[in-house]
Structure 1
Amino acid sequence: MSLSSTPPAPVPPPLPPSVSLVVAVTTYRRNDWLAELLPQLVDQARAARADEEAGVGRARVVVVDNDPDAGAREVVEAVRAANADEPGAAGIGPHYAHEPVPGITAARNRALDEAADARLLVFIDDDELTRPGWLTSLVRAWRTHGCAAVTGPRHPLFEAEPSAWVRGSGVFDAVRAIDGAIMPSAATANLLLDMDVMRALSLRFDERYGLTGGEDSMLMRSLRKGGGIIRFAADAVLDERVPAARATRGWVLRRCLRSGSTWAQVRIETDADGSGSGMPLRLRYAAKGAVRAGRDGALAAIGTIRRDDDSRGRHEAACAGAVGMVMGAIGGRVQEYGRVSRLPWRRK
């Protein structure tokens, strides 16, 4: 079934005057950053509860720790103790949930479980910082549009000044859209979900993407196929830390390769006609990726000759994404650590 024939979304119950909300941050051994983020999330939850237009009643901040050693527990307990007596902070936490099963999918699904009795679930990553009004803006947008999901922009905070090549790649650019615009997809790094819609569609993060990434793309694709609408809240702004180790040509190319691979896989799996292999789609995306790789590879070469690092970065990143598309179309998977798994016909 194509997205052009998307059925109507399950109609959620009328919006109540007061809703319960969970803000979930998934983390893995970033305790220093987490210690800075959590007080901000407590303040965001307090502000949302105080905002009449948002209409948030019960609010909780939940940390899902994917560290098998439970390293974030002490950080969470310290922040909770420090905020226990703050006005309006009752019940907010933060609360701790340990998810030892490795992989981002397990952590995100644990967040869904922690929000089992909530109407709204908001995801944020542990490498982000909030701006004033972020959470309230997400909830207000949900109330305005009555949609299944809301996302907002994320702006990069570079640890060190990136090269012209890295900036030119566009990988760290914030998404831009008109406030209230319908979005084709959204990352879980800044995302509000209506859990009534999620439950009606029986949606969870796909465990097959636990080590490769792309689990959020798969979820959003499935949400849209179920008729869910994703809206953009321009004022729901986050800042994303970019360590110097990420702002490199090698890291960007690996990320683009992986993103291209999962982009193709998600579309093949969600658009296949049930024939099993989805071979027509595989051939189509492999051909499309090959054409794009050739085009952007040539443009990158021109940028190199002209010593135009901005153009070179843009087209080399696009070329890597196109190569990833070919890999994804023929069954290759790129894991977060840059390793490519064996293709299906070469596995023993």
Structure 2
Amino acid sequence: MRTPIVIGIITYNRPRGLAALVESIARQQFDRKELSVSLIIVDNACNPNTEKQVYTLLEEHSLQGIYSTEEEQGIPYARNKVVELFLRETSGKWLAFIDDDQTVAPSWVASLVETAEETSAQVVYNRQEYVLPPGSPEWWKKSFFFQKKEVHGAKIAYFYTHGVLIHRTVFEHFPYPFDICLKKSGGSDSRFAAQVHRAGFIIVYSHTACSYEHVPASRLTYKWLYKRGLRAGALSSATGILTGKHPWYMRAKCVLRFFCWTGRAVGGILFSTLIQKKGQQARAVYELGWAVGIVMGLFGFLHDEYTTIHGE
């Protein structure tokens, strides 16, 4: 009996990124013959050229797939459309999300499924590596572009859609999982993750399943790092208050975190400037944005990061 893995991709005017991603999916290697993949690609730009490209890519790489559009602008609308099509048009037990500025390792799908079977988890989040533009200073990797490496198979309370495998039962419980209020700020995936964790579903980390995010040069600035931190901090506090059992406790916790992160960021900026360590300085700029964002989130303000499209 075959085990179809459906891969959901939302795209917005990134033809080169989409082509590279689909090509990497076509190179998936399976030790088990029963595994197979199909795609659901939702175009949030409703670009006729994207439709032509998608069908060309599917034919070129001998892949099965569904193409659709979502006229409502915003990442949550497009992601919800993927889930809707997955539940309505497929019988697959697993839906994997990946972004159109990424590529995946040849063992990505097989490793996600293997980790799910090993741990009996309903959600498996992958390891992500960042690919910086050629000629980028090495110290950038020590700023924001790194990921905390969890122990393989460890239970975690978070995930993001830049590489995650989710069982059908989760979407049957949350049929419209991505919050449309976050259509420009981003973070609908982390808020969904908080709800999934609170509902009692098992989320685990897979070190063997790896995806690669290709970072555009436009993001290699202190200004972008600060704004990214601003968004992350605001979403963290707002999500904690909305999904936590005790909102006032979460508010007090956020205030404490603001002072801790502010002290850490200011100290980091001063110390890194003194010893001339640009990587640590850039990381401290991100943390300062995070601290300010915590206060913004307490009062319901979010940073609309996705009014600007980076890359293509």
TM over 0.5: yes
Aligned to 2:290: 321
Unaligned runs of 5+ in 1: 1-16, 84-88, 340-348
Q: CA deviation at 1:31?
A: 0.4
Retained in 2: the 8 A contact 1:76–1:95? no
**SS of 1:155 mapped into structure 2:** strand
Report the AA paired with residue 56 of structure 1: L
Does residue 1:261 correspond to 2:249, yes or no? no
Q: CA deviation at 1:337?
A: 4.8
Q: 1:229 to 1:320 in 2, by over 3 A?
A: same
Runs of 4+ in structure 1 off by over 4 angstroms are none
Aligned to 1:23: 7
Report the AA paired with residue 78 of structure 2: A
Report the AA paired with residue 266 of structure 2: G
Q: Which has the higher helix share?
A: 2
Q: 1:202 to 1:26 in 2, by over 3 A?
A: closer
Report the AA paired with residue 116 of structure 2: W
Note the 1:6-155 alignment, pairs <5 A: 18-44=2-28, 47-48=29-30, 51-52=32-33, 55-56=34-35, 59-83=37-61, 89=62, 92-116=63-87, 117-155=91-129
Q: CA deviation at 1:233?
A: 1.6
Report the AA paired with residue 216 of structure 2: P
**CA distance in 2 between partners of 1:101 and 1:288 (Å):** 36
Q: CA deviation at 1:94?
A: 3.7
Q: 1:149 to 1:66 in 2, by over 3 A?
A: same
Larger CA Rg, structure 1 vs 2: 1
Q: 1:248 to 1:164 in 2, by over 3 A?
A: farther
Aligned to 1:335: 304
Aligned to 1:168: 142
Retained in 2: the 8 A contact 1:286–1:330? no
Retained in 2: the 8 A contact 1:166–1:248? no
Retained in 2: the 8 A contact 1:203–1:219? no
Percent identical residues: 25
Does residue 1:209 correspond to 2:182, yes or no? yes
**CA distance in 2 between partners of 1:51 and 1:94 (Å):** 21
Report the AA paired with residue 141 of structure 2: R
Report the AA paired with residue 7 of structure 2: V
Unaligned runs of 5+ in 2: none
**SS of 1:240 mapped into structure 2:** strand
Q: CA deviation at 1:330?
A: 1.9
Aligned residues: 305
**CA distance in 2 between partners of 1:111 and 1:201 (Å):** 13
Q: 1:207 to 1:129 in 2, by over 3 A?
A: same
**CA distance in 2 between partners of 1:338 and 1:67 (Å):** 13
Counterpart pick for 2:271 among 282, 285, 302: 302
Aligned to 1:7: none
Q: CA deviation at 1:290?
A: 3.2
Cα RMSD after superposing both structures: 2.2
Relative to the length of structure 2, the TM-score reads 0.90
Q: Deviations over 1:169-220 (max 9, x none)?
A: 2x21134122211122111100000012331355611111111111111111
Report the AA paired with residue 162 of structure 1: S
Retained in 2: the 8 A contact 1:104–1:210? yes
Report the AA paired with residue 46 of structure 2: P
Q: Deviations over 1:22-66 (max 9, x none)?
A: 11111111001212221322332xx44x624xx436x31121111
